[in-house]
Structures are given as C-alpha cells and as structure tokens.
Structure 1
Amino acid sequence: MNSVSGSGVFLLSAALSAIFMGTIGAISFYAGAGAETVTFYRLFIGALLVAVYLLATRQHSKVLIWPGAKVLVTGAFLAGFVMFYILAMGYTSMANAVMVMYLAPVTASVIAHFFLGERLTTASVGLIGLALLGFAMMMEFNFNLSGRAEEAIGLAYALCAMLCYVAFMLTNRMIDDRIHVVTRSGYQMLAGALCMLPLMLREGEAIAAAQWSWLIAAGVIPGFLAIMLAVIALRSLPAATFGTLAYLEPITVVALAWVLFDQTLNGLQLSGCALIILAGIAQALLLNRRPLPERAVPVTSLAGFSAAIPCAPQTAPPRQHRCETGPH
C-alpha cells in the first residue's frame, strides 16, 4: 500500500469513527428503552466485544490485568455522561444536547487553568468566548426558560452530561500510560456498565424482541467499531488531524436529527453550531502546537463512549505535545 492510499485509509477510519460515535441519539430513540437500559447495553456489549477481540487476537495479557482504580473511576463518569446525554435528548433537541456537550473542552480548560496549572493563553480565552457565543446563538439569545419546562429539564440533563464528561477528561489524564488504550477502554465500559446495572434492575424494564437489535447496535456501532477505528486512525494520523475529523460527530448528530426527526435549525442556530465546532477544532490545533508533555487523546462519543488514545507518532524530529479532542 503506498503512502497516499495508506493515509486515505487512516483518514477514512477517523471519519467513520466520528460518524459512528454520533449515531447513539438516533439508536437510543429507535430502541425505545429507558436511558438506564440503553446505557447499560451500550457499555456492556462494547466491553464484551473488546474482550472478545483481545482474546481472539491472542492478547490475553491485556485482558487479564488489573487496570487500576483510576480507570474504574473514569468508567463511572462515562456511565453518567452517557445516561444524562440520552436523558437530555428526551426533553430537548439532539442539536441542543450535543452542543451543550461540546462545551466540555472549554469548561475543562478553565478548570485546568485554575486547578492544574495549565495557563490559558489569549487565543484560548478568545476560543472560549467564541464557543459561548455559539451556544447563545443556539439558544437564539433567549435564556428565559419560563413556560419551557421540558426544554429546561433537557438542558439541565445535558449540563450534567457535560460535567460528567469534563470529570472524565480530567481524571483520564491521571491514568498510567502503561495501561494499553484498548484495555483501559474495555475496563472503562465494563465499570460504567456495572454502575448502571442496579439502576437498570430497579427500573425492571421489559425488553421486547424488536428492541434487542437496537440495543446490540448501540454497543457495536458507537462503541466497539468507533473506538477500534479511532485506534487504527491514531496509529498514523497526527493528533490535530484526528481532532479536526472528530468534529464530524456533532455534525452527524445534527444531520440525523434533521433528516430522521425533522429537528430543523434556523440560520442563527446553524451559525451557532458552526462557531462551537470551529472553536473546538481551533483549540485542538492550538493544543497540538504547544510543547507540553505528551498526554493521551480523549476520544469521546456524545453517543456515550470515551477513551484515551495516545497521540500518533510524529515524523522526525519528534516533538512532545498534548492533544485533546473533544468533548473529543
């Protein structure tokens, strides 16, 4: 395979990963099950497939290993992130839910500025302002939620999901880099599924035969396939390139909401979406240029999957960097 066609494969893998991650909203709607049930099967099936993959490829040591308490804690945040995101879409539009979620990177950067010693630059502050302006445009500059009870509930759930994702992003940085990305991804999903199990059992929801195909799809498409494609892409792509393509995820969410559920957006709201996405892409590019110690790239799914993936090796001379995508 020549370098051009090889690069095309990795670019396609990154694009498909982001698109697959953006399908959880539509899948959860068609599943017709409660948020707790969808979240459990979304995470449990994903974790099961990761284990099957590692065992089938004779990577037993990556399964039979203690991942550490930090991996399990991030799994709990992952479960909260998925559940609240699905709940939010029951009360507000998918576009509103996903764009609130995509305020997570700017929120994390503010927290890191005050508590982790990662100083904000003038450009970073400007991008935060741009993202907030985009959110205001999404709300059509109308923040009066009186008489809009369902909208308020949906935004509150989306805010909870965003805060869970911020916690995931920040605690994920503390995980030992020696824990392989596929191992940590599998254990994070398993821990999240175990957190959801008692909530699902408490609901006692009966699952019809027609619902099983959608629940399985939730674990396969935005979970296992999305993360494996991301791992493939990041073996070769620079982190900034992957971070840019990752923003196909919110575009997918908005497009599916528009096409499948007639959740249309006006020009002002579309412009707000564009500002939030552009601010996130610019932030990923800025972080990639900063000579900070290498960290993992949080690859997330507003569908509810997140995993830390090491940045792809760069061409010589190698440069240490930190890359973040997100609410990738």
Structure 2
Amino acid sequence: MTSSLNPLVPALTPPPAPFERHWIGPLMVFGGGVCIGFAPIGLRLGLDDLGPQAIAFWRYAFAAPVLLALVFLVERRAPRQPNRYVLLAGTFFALDMALWHWGLTLTTVANATFIVNLGNVSVGFVAWLFLKERPTNIWFGAVLLAIAGAAALSLGGEAGGKGDIRGDLLALSAALLVSGYMLSSKLARRTLGGLETIFWLTMVEICIAGVIVSLSGEAFFPDDLSGFRAPLFLALVVQVMGQGLIIGGLGRTPAAIAGIVVVVQPVVAAAISWTLFDEPLSALQAGGAAAILAAVWLSQRGKPMPID
C-alpha cells in the first residue's frame, strides 16, 4: 500500500495491537495452586514439633519480612496503605486455616478436603453474584467435572477416621471463607499491586493467627530450632510463592476461572504423598485427579473474559 500523497512513499500503518496474553493470569494461579499443594505436606512434617495453629502463625511470620523486602526491591517504594478488602481477605484466610485444622481433628481428612474444595469452585458463583462476572457456558461443565474429580480424589482412598457432622460443618464454614478470601483478594487488587496485597494479607494473618494460638493453648515455640524448618518451608513455598502467584494472577483472571484452576492443589498434594509417604492413589483417586486437570483445561476454553 502506498501513500495517497506520494505513490513512491509507503503509507504509515499503525502497529498491530499488542497480543493480550489471557493465559498469563490463569497460569500464575495454576502455579500458585501447585505451590499450595505442598501445604498439607509441610504441615504433616511439622506436627512433631509444633501444633497446627502455631505452624500457621510461623508460616505467616517468616513470610512477612521476605514479602516486605520484595515490595521494596520490585516496586522501589514502601507498600501503599491497605484497603478494606485486603483486611477482609486476610481475615477470611486466617479463619479458614484455623477452621480447616480444627475440622480435621473431628472428621475424616477425605471429608474435610472434599468440602473445602467446594469453596474453591463456588468462587465463580459468588463473583457472578457480587462482581457481575458471568462465567462462560463451558465453565459450568468444568465446575461439575471439578466437583466430581475432587470427590473421587478425596473420598476414593482410605477414610482414615470416623466422620463427624461437627467436623464437616467446620469444613463447610472453611469453604465459605475460601470464597470470601478469593473474592476480597480480587477486589483488593483493584487499588494495590500483587506484592503489596500479599504483604498486607500476611500481616493480617499474623495478628489473627497469634490470637488463635493463644486461645488454643498451643506452644508458640518448638523445643529446638529444628522445629522451625517446616514453617520456614511453608513460608517460602506456600505463602510467598503460592499465595503470591495466586494473588498476582487474580488481578488478571476472572474469579470463576481462578476458583477452578486452584483446585489443582489436592492433585499435587496426592502426588507428593505418593512419592514421599508411600501412599499410592487408588484407581478412583487417579481418575479424580485426571478429572480435575481436565476441568482446569476446560475452564480456559471459550471466549476470554474481560480483565480488570
């Protein structure tokens, strides 16, 4: 094509619009889900030295200075003032962890795991109601597949204890808090960067977890310094990397899709347990893991949702 003014001079055409990488946000959430899959492993390895609530407290406490350093290093400034949504999200998450651990003492691991994962897939419905983010039609099929996969993965193995309705209700409460956490985190990202958000989330979690440890009667400190290894591992891998990737990804991923993608975490936990603790998956559990991965893939199909 040539210029209408001079046929010898090529016309200046505008550069093509930059390709919108809609997959980056979901990929970050997926990576965060993989990291969080190490959470039950780290918790299990640390229970000989600390109680579950104390492990959660130190996980947050060790992560906070690392996150603050990352804010200064990446953003080259202090964290901005937290908004109300980040305070809500931190509260939801800390209470979710506390109820999840409490529920595990009253019901089977299988029941508690399955019920809490319902909270992840329900995020899309909550976002539809409050954020007016209507999921794609394909997403509804992905939800059913994810629920079926979570049920098979969680309930297809050994029961490992007797179920108790009280524990199931605590796990259900934790599932509702998961939805609140992800929704509030997405809203918090509207005025805060990803690193700032996870830093303030962690500071709120430290305060609430400290109160919970005091009320639970657990010891704050292990008998020896080696007892801090598991919380330190959880701080770096689960809190900094896992939650950090999820919070960062939520800023560019529809909540409905993020809720399904993050369900990859029990698949990772099951795979690691198979290797580390010699706990092989049954055929039903393996099928459940495959269904969850298929649901994660299916949730990405269809027309991309708007990114805020």
Common topology (TM > 0.5): yes
- CA distance in 2 between partners of 1:246 and 1:197 (Å): 27
Which residue does the alignment assign to 1:123?
A: 138
Output the TM-score relative to the length of structure 2: 0.71
8 Å CA contact retained: 1:76, 1:195 = yes
C-alpha change, 1:129 and 1:160, in structure 2 (3 Å) is same
Aligned to 2:304: 290
**Aligned residue identity for 2:186:** R
Q: Note the residue ranges of structure 2 that are not aligned, 5 or more in a row.
A: 1-26
Q: How far does the alpha carbon of each residue in 1:189-228 deviate from its partner, in whole angstroms, 9 at most, with x for none? A: 1101111111112324152213112222221221224456
| Structure 1 residues 155 and 253: CA distance shift in structure 2, 3 A | farther
In terms of mean alpha carbon deviation, does 168-177 or 184-193 score higher?
A: 168-177
2:111, 2:163 within 8 Å by CA — same for their partners in 1?
Answer: no
Match of 1:25 among 40, 64, 75: 40
Q: Could you say which residue in structure 2 is the equivalent of 1:301?
A: none
| CA positional deviation for 1:133 | 2.7
Alignment partner of 1:252 is 2:265: no
2:81 aligns to what? 66
Output the CA distance in 2 between the equivalents of 1:71 and 1:283.
Answer: 26
CA distance 1:37–1:103, change in 2 (3 Å): same
Equivalent position amino acid for 2:176 in 1: L
Separation in 2 of the partners of 1:117 and 1:58? 31
- How far apart in 1 are the matches of 2:243 and 2:118? 22
Question: TM-score scaled by structure 1?
Answer: 0.68
Name the CA shift for 1:137/1:219 in 2 (closer, same or farther; >3 Å). closer
1:4-19 → structure 2 map (5 Å cutoff):
18-19=33-34
| Distance in 1 separating the partners of 2:300 and 2:174 | 21
Structure 2 CA distance, aligned partners of 1:110 and 1:18?
20
Task: Classify 1:211/1:54 alpha carbon distance in 2 versus 1 (closer, same or farther; 3 Å).
Answer: same
Q: Which moved more, 1:261-270 or 1:68-77?
A: 261-270
Q: Select the structure of larger CA radius of gyration.
A: 2
Distance (Å, rounded) in 1 between the aligned partners of 2:81 and 2:121: 32
Matches within 5 A, 1:47-196: 47-55=64-72, 59-61=76-78, 63=79, 65-88=80-103, 92-93=108-109, 97-138=112-153, 149-150=162-163, 155-175=168-188, 177-196=190-209
Distance of 1:263 and 1:156 partners within structure 2: 27
Give the Cα–Cα distance (whole angstroms) in 2 for the partners of residues 258 and 84 of structure 1: 26
- Give the aligned CA root-mean-square deviation in angstroms: 4.1
Q: Secondary structure at the match of 2:90?
A: helix
Residue 276 in structure 1 maps to residue 289 in structure 2: no
Q: What's the counterpart of residue 281 of structure 2?
A: 265
Distance 2:87 2:131 in 1: 22
Contact 1:243 1:284 in 2 (8 A): no
